[in-house]
Amino acid sequence: MIPHRLPHLAQRLFNRPLAILPDKAEVVMAVLADRLGVARLFRADGSAAALDMEVLGPGSSDPARNRPFEMVGPVAVIPIEGTLVHKLGCIHPYSGMTGYDGIRAMFASAWDDPDVRAIVLDIDSPGGEVSGCFDLVDQIYAARQTGEKPIWAILDEGAYSAAYAIASAATRITVPRTGGTGSVGVIALHTDLSKALTAQGVTVTVITYGAHKADGIETEPLSDEVRARFQADVDAMGDLFVATVARNRGLTPAAVKATQALTYLGDAGTKIGFADAVLSPDAAMSELLGSLR
């Protein structure tokens, strides 16, 4: 890990809401640092792809070769794997991460492709950043509402937290027996290094303009007032998450909120309304292909 990236990494991880499984929150720092804040997307071969989804370059004569997604028959498959981040800078999953920017690029390209009759969101993710997640979810949900193409979320294995928010926007969700859904909640982490610095004989003097400029700084304990404000932000994000899933899945907000961010294994997710069927990924794909004949 590059040392000069560590401050940037801390900004992405701490003192901001995350929609991710708690046991994954600590390891996010290992995969986020280098790939955030990139305004352009790049394919695996290094070629650039514009964010406006103009994936075919001037003079291109073979659209199939330029598709940023894989095709299974008439179905576009969009991989959503690992930790989800706002801006990865790559269309495809990379180094254990998937960017909302890449998902957006692939989805828009697939939606506009006349040869694509259906879209599969191939999901195996514990979730990730809140930033950028719900705009993407709304984009997928709006497309679904047109009824032009079926959108299936085929889980292989789980879709939790932010990944479940994405899955919930699909027309149909399938989950394998050993996979899972849920974790409709938000978490924020704060580090307090003040005691460690004191033990090392280090004094940090914070000089600010604005009474709240240093709220949540890691060199000071978290005050009750600041904690309450951070909790209010997390609650607001959580309410948005609950309302979004309730809308997408045809559930009441009260029912979604009552899950209290629980996760559900296999068929338990169908019983709560978070999935439509328990199927292996292959069986789900076969069912979708059969419905298109």
Q: Kindly list the catalytic residues.
A: 161, 213
pLDDT score recorded for residue 15: 57
Alpha carbon distance 261, 263 (integer Å) = 7
Alpha carbon distance 223, 129 (integer Å) = 25
Q: What is the pLDDT of residues 197-237, one digit of tens each?
A: 888 898 888 888 888 888 888 888 888 898 899 899 999 99
Going from the first residue of the chain to its last (293 residues), give the mean pLDDT of each consecutive group of 10, the final group possibly shorter: 44 61 52 41 50 37 71 97 91 90 95 97 96 97 97 97 98 97 92 86 86 83 88 94 98 98 97 98 97 93
pLDDT score recorded for residue 22: 63
Residue 52's alpha-carbon distances to 25, 49, 105, in angstroms, are 31, 9, 8
- What superfamily does domain 3-291 belong to in CATH? 2-enoyl-CoA Hydratase; Chain A, domain 1 (3.90.226.10)
* Whole-structure pTM value: 0.78
Of 24, 27, 20, 22, which is closest to residue 237 (Cα–Cα)?
A: 20
What are the counts of helices (DSSP H) followed by strands (DSSP E) for the chain?
Answer: 12, 12
Please list the alpha-helical segments (H only) found in 185-223: 194-199
Close Cβ partners of 150 (under 8 Å, ≥ 6 residues apart): 118, 119, 171, 172, 288, 291
How many other C-beta atoms can be found within 10 angstroms of the C-beta atom of residue 112? 10
**Domain definitions of the chain by residue range:** 3-291
